Amino acid sequence: MIRVAVVGCGTVARVNHLPGLRAGGDADVVVFAGRTMGSAEQARDAWGSGEVTTDWAAAVARDDVDAVHVCVPNALHAEVAAAALSAGKHVLVEKPMTTTLADADALLAIDGGVLGVAFDARCNPLLIELRRLLPEVGVVRQVDVRLGHPGPQAWAPDATWFRDPSRSGGGVLLDLGSHVLDALAWCVGPITEVASATAPGPIDEEAELAVVCSTGTTARVFVSWQLPEPEFSFALTGECGTLAIERGQLLRDGAPVDVPAAPLPNAAAAFARALATGTPLSADGVDGRAALAAVLAGYAAAESGRRVQVA
């Protein structure tokens, strides 16, 4: 059983990480470190056991902690993850991995536990099956991806930090763009260039990118915090046909495809299972850095109006 410290006890910890850990059955949360005792107690009560504290540094240093889930605002990811890794703990950090490439590289350089990044799309049964079927459509020429919802206030009304640049590091491109750019790279290949981008700031509510993958595939990406309802679509055009996720269904050349259930519900469950079984992570720190590099190239392209290579 993997013994977990959860650092950051807001909405994403309570509605995503804790249910995932419970469903996977490979972990027990032994300590909750919140910004306030109230948030820590709320998360503890949702789990049903564990200690509570506002001292995250003490929590990650505990001898009875094997892994740390970093669920704090984006700008704090690097500090908490670095402390946990340096203490020899395994770390699952919410996306984005960090807000700067320098911080991401510093985490990758720490000789400590394993570092995972919470890209839930890699546990989406529709995307898993789409990826499995990719050889059937041949060389992928074009991808169109859309992801959006009514904004952070719709699912985490207390998380005002999303629109505070000093705490978030960016807007919807950093938030939702991290998910879709990682999913694109996972399915098609590393993103090497942002050909064009719009991401009006200082906190972008919607963003559009045109990107190029190492395979030569071009992709259009749209992310938004302004949609009336949650939306996710992922459409690929290959030399031998099409695959698309639309309205919660996988289509092969327009026809519905039966999709097996995913083995685990989300990245939190997959991370604990990987630790418990010694199997590879669904997404590691290298994947997290790659997604961040693509996001930051998108912001640079939007600001400069020029093509930007992904660092």
Q: Which residues of 200-234 are buried (b: 16+ CB within 10 A; e: fewer)?
A: eeebbbbbbbbbbbeeebbbbbbbbbebeeeebeb
Q: What is the DSSP letter of 70?
A: E
Joined together, the tokens standing for residue 38 give: 């109230």
| β-sheet with 255-256: strand ranges across | 255-256, 249-252, 241-246, 231-238, 140-148, 218-224, 206-213, 191-198, 308-309
Q: Which residues contact 120 (CB under 8 A, 6 or more apart)?
A: 16, 179, 266, 267
Residue whose entry in the numeric block shows the structure tokens 């190029």: 212
Annotated catalytic residue, options 17, 69, 90, 95: 95
Q: Report the 10 Å Cβ neighbour count for 279.
A: 10
Could you confirm whether 89 is annotated as catalytic?
no
Torsion of CA 23, 278, 77, 69, to 10 degrees: 30
CB 128 within 8 A of CB 267: no
Give, for 19, the enclosing helix (H) or strand (E): helix 18-24
Q: How far is CA 82 from CA 60, 107, 291, in A?
A: 10, 6, 19
User: ∠ at Cα 150 (294, 190), nearest 5°?
Assistant: 15
Active-site residues, by number, are 95
